[in-house]
Chains A and B, each alone.
Chain A
Amino acid sequence: MAVPVIPRPPVPAGEVAMFFKHICPPTFGGGPVDPQPATVELARNLLVGEKFRIPDGRDIDIWIIEDPDDNVGGRVFPSKAIRVNQGDTVRVRVGSQGDTHTIHWHGIEPSPVNDGVGKHSFEVSGNFVYQFTPRQAGTYFYHCHKNTTLHVEMGLYGLLIVDPPGSHPNFLPRQSFTGGPFYHVEAFWVSDEFDTRWHTLGHDAFMQDCVPDDPVGPQTFSRDGFLNQFKPDVFLITGVARTSDATPIADPRVAVSARVGQTILIRTLNAGYTVQQYTIYGLPATVIAADGRPLGATPETRYSAPFVIPAGRPFRLTSGRRFDLILKPTRPGVYPATVEYFDWITGRRYAVARTTITVNR
């Protein structure tokens, strides 16, 4: 008896152009579209190639989004953080060098031409000025959204921090969000991984052919890619690679230092492709915000409340998720913290990155 076939659906009549755009977005430049008076103007360029020294001594290729207006700190990994206030109308002039790219502002919710997803708008040719007004203080991030699987893994991402209205980045203690706790010490734990096999690929690796009148024809598909296989061999927190499962990261970009009586804010982000598990030992942490939304603090979030993660209790984040944690240490000490990286299918633990929260009198 013949086995019945469930065929692939036909491309609906009149939607060929949309199917083509899904794969091969148009390009566009200029902007901002429907301009509004701006209060902050920034610039970013991508794709910028850099070398990154990994613990075994090799230099691997990474890609970053540079701030061309900052000659001192504009070319860093992760890409330089953007920091603005709630209510700012932000313009970012994005230069796309060598080929087309986009920037998506993850968790920021503007109109589609400002959202940075090519298949729903366009890819940037030359320059484009994105425009958005963040309305909720919190932790967000930005990243390229072209051939995203490869581009984000190669490093094309950075933090986007929105502070409450009236905040100044140099002034502490700072408030986390309107009505929220003030903090004296701020840490960014951006956990990520590299699969160094991916770091020899070109920016358009394994992309589908562009055939406008037959966009999803079987012959258009690339068949020799391996971006479905992510087997990381380098493990990082905020751009610092851990050297072994045993050695805590002491780099001040990661390790936290505070005094008894101070309030610490730790902004966590899973910027990688594994299931990441965080554990803070000896100190309880209160989750005050998730994905940039403060728990229980606004009409939109009244259905939630901050919750406590007891000392030593692990919590897991998958890619793109953020938790903002408040810690208020009452006793001096060196408190360990770990990030463990688990495979998304097998659950195998690849590695553990360690660091410390040092509390002085």
Chain B
Amino acid sequence: MNRRSFLRKSLVGLAAATLESAGVPGMLAPPAAEGAPAPIALTMAPALVEMIDGTQVFMWTFTDASGPHFPGPVITVRSGQRVQIALTNALDELHAFTVPGVVSSGPILPGRTRLVTFTAPAGGTYLYFDPLNAPVNRVLGLHGAMVVLPAAGNTPYTRPTPAVQQLFDDLGVAPQFPGDAWLAPPANRSRLWLFSQTDPRFNAQAQAGQTINAAKFVAGFVPDYFTINGLSGAFASHDPAIFPSGNIGEPHLIRILNAGVATHSPHQHANHIYILSVTGVVQGNVLFIDTFTVRPLDRVDWLLPFVRPPDIAGDPRTPLRDLLPQELALVLGNVPQSPLSWPMHCHMEQSQTALGGNYPQGLVAHMEIVGDVDKVPFPNQPPPP
């Protein structure tokens, strides 16, 4: 099992037929309307996770029929749906499962299985994790995302604020958003970025069966690795399940969660972004910013509008393929400049490292614009693999 496919293969909670039709990385397909799916079986078990530099680090992971996952598999459900999760503790100490405010398993003894049942809450992005010995167990790998789709409406939320509703209604309709209207849910127009950090010295203590003092963990935590969906650096940045790609006029929803202990400051180049929801609070005042704050346990949804980058010199009415012929024809370092790409990265620049250096092999992603709003692809793109 590898992390690159964790979104493709691990959309649990929905009917299997719907998962097959989902197919595309990061996609949130509409779940089957009838009937609750079978209980989701998750086992908390050890795994060795290979970091960006090849070092294998011991983790506690959520494991399902397809193997261990770091982070845990994405659970996607419909608001109001009855959800059952069968949790087995295959580790040597007490573990538990919680989605704050939604469900809490209580401590589960080693070797035991506990069934939790809950009603999927309002539409939005949630973090599930082991809350015991906080933050240790969660940071050592026991965390994952739960996406709840609203029962109705064209936004990600059951009760969108007027500002959020207006924004989604304006996509593809209002003059400032030429391009596609927002479909609910859109095909391949969503991404999920689960941030975390790893200090392997503590993972080694867990591997040796030592008890870890939570206060000493936080005080002594020196992260060697910074991950999005378990990946760092070039691996995260070039993963199609992580980076959004589209034509101008194809907005993307990005769900960001932070399961670690470091506060991140993700910064998107090329486009400003709309902050839709912060840790369960759909925003009444939707800031349009280029950098935001994601603290431990925060969940931030943002809308990447995929507008034409506004500060490109030249007449804004000229299609980019006609305005940037030299740039689109350049090949630099054996890599074509077409399609156009820009980074997303955390601006707390310590997070851009691996092993205390090796910039930029830390918390990075990117975005790619492949064509104009008329959906004519930019010239000189490399052939698909």
Contacts and interface: CB of A to CB of B under 8 A. Distances in A.
A200 interface: no
Interface stretch (B10-18, B26-34, B108-116, B349-357): B349-357
Nearest to B63: A4
B385 A14 contact: yes
B337 A113 contact: yes
A136 B312 CA distance: 12
Interface stretch (B92-100, B246-254, B281-289): B281-289
A120 B238 CA distance: 12
A163 interface: no
A3 B207 CA distance: 11
B44 to A, nearest CB: 13
Contacts, number: 314
Interface residues of B, number: 101
A104 B291 CA distance: 14
A320 B347 contact: yes
Contacts of B2: 6-7, 9
A345 B221 contact: yes
B357 A227 contact: yes
A9 B3 contact: yes
Interface in B316-369: 320, 323-327, 330, 332-335, 337, 340-343, 347-350, 352-361, 366
A206 B312 contact: no
Interface stretch (A60-68, A235-243, A300-308, A332-340): A300-308
Interface in A89-148: 89, 104-115, 117, 119-122, 131-136, 147-148
Contacts of A114: 312-313
A178 interface: no
A302 B176 CA distance: 11
A293 B342 CA distance: 20
Contacts of B231: 9
Contacts of A295: 285, 287
Contacts of A7: 2, 50
Contact of A12 (B238, B337, B340, B354): B238
Contact of A109 (B264, B311, B352): B311
B131 to A, nearest CB: 19
B163 A8 contact: no
B163 to A, nearest CB: 4
Interface stretch (A23-31, A51-59, A258-266, A353-361): A23-31
Given A22-B233, A319-B349, A227 B359 contact: yes
B84 to A, nearest CB: 26
B265 A110 contact: no
Contacts of A252: none
A18 B366 CA distance: 13
B291 A319 contact: yes
Nearest to B356: A225
Interface string A4-22: 1111110011110111111
A19 B358 CA distance: 13
Interface string B57-100: 01001000001111000000000000000000000000000000
Contacts of A132: 311-313
Contact of B46 (A3, A14, A225, A318): A3
Contacts of B382: 14
A290 interface: yes
A229 B197 CA distance: 13
Contact of A344 (B49, B58, B324, B348): B348
A318 B293 contact: yes
B218 interface: yes
Interface residues of A, number: 99
Contact of B326 (A34, A136, A150): A34
Contact of A8 (B52, B270, B355): B52
Contact of B359 (A3, A115, A207, A317): A207
Contacts of A221: 52-53, 354-355, 357-358, 361
Nearest to A13: B385
A177 interface: no
Top 3 closest pairs, chain A to chain B, by CB: A206-B357, A225-B357, A225-B356
Interface of B: 1-4, 46-56, 58, 61, 67-70, 163-164, 166-167, 174-176, 218-219, 221-224, 230-231, 233-235, 237-239, 261-265, 267, 269-272, 274, 285-293, 309-314, 320, 323-327, 330, 332-335, 337, 340-343, 347-350, 352-361, 366, 382, 385
Given A109-B271, A114-B313, A120-B343, 10 more contacts: A20-B334, A21-B332, A109-B309, A109-B311, A228-B224, A293-B272, A293-B287, A303-B288, A318-B348, A345-B221
Interface of A: 3-9, 12-15, 17-26, 28, 32-34, 36, 89, 104-115, 117, 119-122, 131-136, 147-150, 152-153, 205-208, 215-218, 221-230, 270, 273, 275, 290-293, 295, 299-305, 307, 316-321, 344-346
17 contacts: A3-B47, A3-B58, A6-B3, A9-B4, A109-B270, A109-B312, A110-B313, A114-B312, A119-B343, A149-B350, A216-B233, A223-B53, A273-B350, A291-B290, A301-B288, A345-B221, A345-B261
